Amino acid sequence: MPSEWSPGTLSLTRRFHLAVRHVRDVDARRPLVWDLLLTGVLALAALADLLGERWKLTAHGTDVPGWLPWLVSAGFVLPVAWRRRGPLAVMCVLAVPGFVDSWTGIALEVGVARLVLLYGIAVRRPWRELVWAGALAVAQITVGALRWPEGDFDRQLVPNLMTCAVVVLGGFAVRTRRDYTASLLERARQLEVERDQQAQLATAAERARIAREMHDIIGHHLSVITGLADGGSYASRKNPERATQALEAIGDTSREALGELRKLLGMLRDATVDLAPQPALADLDQLLGRVREAGLPVRVTTSGRGGELSPGLQLAVYRIVQEALTNTLKHAGPGASAEVTLGYAPHGVDLGITDTGVGAASGGPDDGGQGLPGMRQRAALYGGTLAAGPLPSGGWRVHVHLPAERSGQQ
C-alpha cells in the first residue's frame, strides 16, 4: 500500500485544496444551487430546533407564544437565498428577526445565519458594507445582553463579539488569499504576454539580420559577376584568354556565394551544425581581389592594428566595405576607381570608402535601396555613426566610425 508521500499519490493538504477548488468551481457555475443548498441546511437546523423545542431550554422569557419561534426562524432562513444579490440588504432584513430574537430571549440556533451573511460580506463586499453589517450584528448582541443580563455583563457580551470578530477575520483571510491568487494569475498572464512580445521582437530582429546578410551576400556577388560578365563579353572580341579568365572568376565567385548561402541557410535549419567562421578583417584582401577582377580598381590604406577587434566588429567592417564597393560597382559608372581607408585606434575604427564615379555610388538616400540603411544599421548595432554623400569634386564618400569593442569584452 503506497504511503501518503510516495510518488503518484496526493498529500492530504493537496486533496483538501482540490476539494475546496471543486466546491468553488461549482459555486461559480451554479450559484443559485449553492444558495438554495445553504438555505436548506439552515432550514433543517431550524426545523430540528423547533420540533424538539430545544429553544425552550435556552429561552429567557416564559411567556413567548408558540408561533413566534416559527416566524422568527422563517425570518432568519428565507432571506439567505438572496444573500449574493444584496448581502447588506439581506443583513438588514435579518436584523428584524434578530432584534426580536434578542429582545424576547428565544436565542434560536438558526441565528447563526447572520454570521453567514457577515462572513460573505467580509469576503466579497466593500469595507463600508462590512462596517454597517458589523454594526447591525453588534447591536443585536448588545440588545440581548442588556435585555437578559446573566452575571457579569462583559462575560455575556465579549464571547459573542469575539465570535463575530473571528468570522470577520476568517473572511479577511479568504479575501486576502483570493486577491493574492488573482494577482499571481494576472502577473503570470502578463509574463506570458511579455514573453510572446519578446519572442516576436527577437524574431523580427533575427529576420532583419538575416535579410542584411542575404542582401550583402547576394548583392555583392551578383554585382561582381555582372562586372566580370560585361568585361568578359567585351574582352572576348579582342582577347579570348581574358574572357576565359573572366569566366573562371565568375565560377569562383558563384561558388563562393553559394557556399555563404548554404552556410547561412544551414544555420537556420540547424543551430548545432558546424559552421565555418564569418568573414573577418583577414578576408578583406580576398574581397578586394574579387572587386578588382570585376573591373573596379581599388586602393587600400591601413593604419594601426585591427586584429584585437571582436569578431562581430570585424564582420561589421567587412560587410560595410563589401556593401560600399558593391554599390560602387552598380552606380559609379565606367572608368571609376575606389579607395578604402582603415584607421585602427584605441578609441575605435575609422573607415572610409570613396570613389571617383559619376553616379550615386552608395545608392543615395532617395534610391529606395537597402545599401545605406543596411550600413547604418550595422554601424548603429555597435554604437557607431555613418555619414555618406557626394563629394564636391564628383564621386561618393562613405565614412564610418565604430567604437572599440575588443574581443573577449562583454
pLDDT in tens, 113-165: 888 888 888 888 888 888 888 888 888 888 877 777 776 666 777 788 888 88
Strand pairing category for 396-403 and 338-345: unpaired
Instruction: List, as one string, the DSSP characters of 32-43.
Output: HHHHHHHHHHHH
Do 309 and 405 form a contact (C-beta atoms < 8 A)?
yes
Q: Which of 62-71, 73-82, 267-276, 375-384 has the lowest mean pLDDT?
A: 267-276
- To the nearest 10°, report the CA torsion of 95, 96, 97, 99: 70
The pLDDT of residue 362 is 41
DSSP 81: G
The letter for the amino acid at 203 is T
* Per-residue pLDDT band at 65 (split at 50, 70, 90): confident
The pLDDT of residue 2 is 43
Chain centroid, CA 105 distance in Å: 61
* Per-residue pLDDT band at 60 (split at 50, 70, 90): low
Instruction: List, as one string, the DSSP characters of 266-331.
Output: HHHH-TTS--PPPP-GGGHHHHHHHHHHTT--EEEEEES--TTB-HHHHHHHHHHHHHHHHHHHHH
The pLDDT of residue 234 is 64
The pLDDT of residue 339 is 92
The mean predicted confidence, pLDDT, of the chain is 76
The pLDDT of residue 268 is 60
* Per-residue pLDDT band at 72 (split at 50, 70, 90): confident
* Mean pLDDT along residues 266-295: 71
In the numeric block, the cell 516576436 is attached to: 200
Question: Is it the case that residue 247 has pLDDT exceeding 60?
Answer: yes
- To the nearest 10°, report the CA torsion of 302, 303, 308, 309: -60
Burial of residue 163 (CB within 10 Å: 0-12, 13-18, 19+) is middle
Helices 87-104 and 67-77 cross at an angle (nearest 10°) of 160
Q: How many helices (H) and strands (E) does the chain have?
A: 12, 5
**End-to-end Cα separation, the chain, in angstroms:** 57
Closest CA to 298 of 312, 288, 309: 288
Do 220 and 212 form a contact (C-beta atoms < 8 A)?
no
Q: What is the C-alpha R_g of the chain?
A: 44
Strand pairing category for 338-345 and 298-303: parallel
Model confidence, pTM: 0.45
Contacts of 314 (CB under 8 A, 6+ apart): 279, 280, 281, 306
State the Cα–Cα distance between residues 34 and 40, nearest whole angstrom.
Answer: 10
* Per-residue pLDDT band at 398 (split at 50, 70, 90): very high
Contacts of 326 (CB under 8 A, 6+ apart): 216, 219, 220, 223, 224, 371
State the Cα–Cα distance between residues 271 and 262, nearest whole angstrom.
Answer: 13
Question: Is it the case that residue 35 has pLDDT exceeding 50?
Answer: yes
Burial of residue 107 (CB within 10 Å: 0-12, 13-18, 19+) is middle
Closest CA to 74 of 56, 52, 53, 49: 49
Quote the cell numbers at residue 334.
Answer: 565606367
